[in-house]
Structure 1
Amino acid sequence: MDLNSLSKSDAPTVEVGNTQPDLSQPSARSSYSYQKVDHDLQHSGPGIASFIISLVTIMGYAALFVFIIMKASSMVNENSNLLAESSQSIMLLGMTVIILSALNVIGVVIGIIGLSIRKRRKVFGVIGTIINGVIILLFMLLITIFLVNAGTL
């Protein structure tokens, strides 16, 4: 039987949300129900944004680390004292770290928003929130270690 030859009354009907057809009607045998499953859901936009922010900040921290390694020898003199010309580079590094950590905080907030949206996939929201949260925790741990060691000098 050709599907194009069916009239509207002969075509099977689709009922969204009804999981059990009513078998008391004669046309119920030809109808079927469709229920949305998880693989039909779309990804949440804020979750994807949180994941992208986490990737951008990881690349930013990696670039910052490479920049510090490249500039470390030119910032100190023979006596291991900082040179006066290196103050701009140090300020640039500090501002970059502050901007990247602020992006991580924004990524956590957006990831939580992505997790709270109903009827959407939450994979990217979970991954983005975890990565951004771990980076923030590591950054706070690093600051704590530096503050503790600065008090012992």
Structure 2
Amino acid sequence: MDYHSPPKPDTTAAEPARWDSSEHDTNPDYVYQENKRDYKHSGPGIASFVIALLTLVCYAIIFVYVGAQAASLMNENKMLIAGSAETIMYLGLSMLILVAVNVIGAVTGIIGLTLRRRRKVFAVIGTIVNAAFLLLFMLLLSVVLVNAGAS
């Protein structure tokens, strides 16, 4: 009598895939793909965001200070007092410094956007806020220049 053992079932299709390191070492075509959640935040993006928040706070302080000083800058005839020129100069100088800081923040935000394998959330927010401040400053400057030309 010819006795043959029953055929073994094909276990490769029935077994779940196992993560065996020796299996991946032999396959040179295997490339590890990083998950987006593993990326770090970009340093320039964080710097741009911090600069945007810092300038936002400084602009708020400046406008509150100007509002508080507005009554003391004008006399009863709605004319500027001669001694208020120093306050106006400091206001203009601080605005120019903040605009320069916004330019630096926008540039660092753009640098943060160009980095590969980094999260870009802070870079996007920082770039948008700094650019918005720059656009508002240009709008304010154009309104002042148009009104100065009309007088």
Give the TM-score taking structure 2 as reference length: 0.79
Structure 1: segments with no counterpart, 5+ residues: 1-10, 16-20
* AA aligned opposite 2:110: I
- Residue number among 119, 127, 132 corresponding to 1:121 in the alignment: 119
- Residue number among 35, 38, 44 corresponding to 1:37 in the alignment: 35
2:89, 2:20 → 1: CA distance? 69
Determine helix, strand or coil for the equivalent of 1:118: coil
Length, aligned pairs only: 131
Structure 2: segments with no counterpart, 5+ residues: 1-18
Equivalent in the alignment of 1:13: 21
Q: Is the 8 A contact 1:14 1:34 kept in 2?
A: no
Q: Which runs of 4+ in 1 moved over 4 A?
A: none
Q: Is the 8 A contact 1:76 1:82 kept in 2?
A: yes
Report how far residue 143 of structure 1 moved. Answer: 0.7
Instruction: Please give the residue correspondences for 1:1-150 in structure 2 after superposition, counting only pairs within 5 Å.
Output: 12-13=20-21, 21=24, 35-150=33-148
- The CA deviation string for residues 60-112 of structure 1, in whole angstroms up to 9 with x for no partner, is 11000100010000111111111122111111111110010000000011111
* AA aligned opposite 2:80: L
Q: Which has the larger radius of gyration?
A: 2
Greater RCO, 1 or 2 (C-alpha within 8 Å, sep 6+): 2
Aligned Cα root-mean-square deviation (Å): 2.3
Determine helix, strand or coil for the equivalent of 2:78: coil
1:92, 1:34 → 2: CA distance? 56
* AA aligned opposite 1:121: R
